[in-house]
Amino acid sequence: MSSTEYFITRVYELVSELKIPLIDERVYDNVKIKSNGTIVKIIFDQDESVIYGFLGLSEYYHSIVIKQKDKFIIPAEMITYSLECV
């Protein structure tokens, strides 16, 4: 299993475990995310605490997680958080 596949699988498992709403390709055909504020890019480098921290942002802002290709996005107020695998 490649690191990207592991990353995506692990995020799905933790989203399910934490019961955080997730929107992915099964829900929409094509989505464009526009951000009026700051974009914060978080990089996953085999440390699962990064995923927990990212999902904690979703809980803190009472927001959803959006999967777009190989990255996950949390829209929150004026900041958009993006989690990607190296």
Q: Is residue 68 a contact partner of residue 27, using CB atoms and an 8 Å limit?
A: no
Question: H helices within 23-82, ranges in order?
Answer: 48-61
Q: Which domain holds residue 63?
A: 3-85
Q: Is residue 86 a contact partner of residue 25, using CB atoms and an 8 Å limit?
A: no
Strand order of the sheet with strand 71-76? 22-23, 65-68, 71-76, 79-85, 38-44
Note the pLDDT tens digit of each residue in 21-61. 999 888 877 767 777 778 899 999 888 899 999 999 999 99
**pLDDT on residue 26:** 81
Mean pLDDT, to the nearest integer, of 5-18?
Answer: 94
Question: Per-residue pLDDT for 15 more than 90?
Answer: yes
| pTM for the predicted model, two decimal places | 0.87
Question: Per-residue pLDDT for 16 more than 90?
Answer: yes
Name the domain count of the chain: 1
Residue 66: phi, psi to the nearest 5?
A: -115, 130
